[in-house]
Structure 1
């Protein structure tokens, strides 16, 4: 309480996430490449369309080369959705990003929001540690290494 007034902290976003979706690559004790994406749509209609496109793309995950697995996540009130994906290496992630089906989704939503993305390499894959780090980015306590990229620029 300050000078008779109460202050309230903004509530952290309520993040929904899918179950872990494994890729075709079996886990081994080796370094992994982690990618986190966050798309903020301009409106709720676009937010729903982007989230639905992500769910459709997830259906191909079991045959995505170099993919160890992924979680999709959404903040419905904030019109945001994204992914936390784990790869054998950065090359596998780049190959996925340039896949025709992924590019079609990016092009379809160009100009309808802002995208943030970051990636890092971890010595081993610890699901709890990866999700905790990604969740800190998604909910705001940890700053993103880069600002948003408007899809017109992507």
Structure 2
């Protein structure tokens, strides 16, 4: 698995909502443009209200890619999902694969703990 560096957001919190997106591309050749779209969104991460931070990840040989994002609230995550640049990406690639998501709350957010639990979900 390939993983980006941590992209910090403007928010900080100990209690946090962690969300995984796991996109299974129908064609591996689409992964490069999907990854670029993810990097473009990540470039604005530091300005997103309620975003604590995120990692991008990819498993190129299995045609999977996505993110592990960390939020201070459900409302902040919902605002991101409705954010026009994100909506554009979803519309652009919605027929290119299948999206799986998972989310959970943690009472003691740390980078290592969050990534370890996320990686467990991504191995399935």
- TM-score by length of structure 1 reads 0.78
Q: Is 2:45 the partner of 1:44? A: no
Partner in structure 2 of residue 94 of structure 1: 78
After superposition, where does 1:23-102 map in structure 2 within 5 Å?
A: 23-25=9-11, 27-28=12-13, 30-102=14-86
Matches of 1:74 and 1:84, distance apart in 2? 11
Structure 2 unaligned blocks of 5 or more: none
CA distance in 1, matches of 2:68, 2:94: 21
Deviations 1:96-122 (Å, cap 9, x if unpaired)?
000110000000011110000011111
Which structure has greater strand proportion? Answer: 2
Task: Name the structure with the higher helix share.
Answer: 2
SS at match of 2:68: strand
Max Rg structure:
1
CA distance in 1: counterparts of 2:52 and 2:118, whole angstroms: 16
What is the total number of aligned residue pairs between the two structures? 124
Is 1:123 matched up with 2:107?
yes
**Structure 1 residue 55: Cα displacement:** 0.5
Whole-Å separation in 2 of the counterparts to 1:59 and 1:126: 22
Deviates more, 1:121-130 or 1:99-108: 121-130
Give the equivalent residue in structure 2 for 1:22: 8
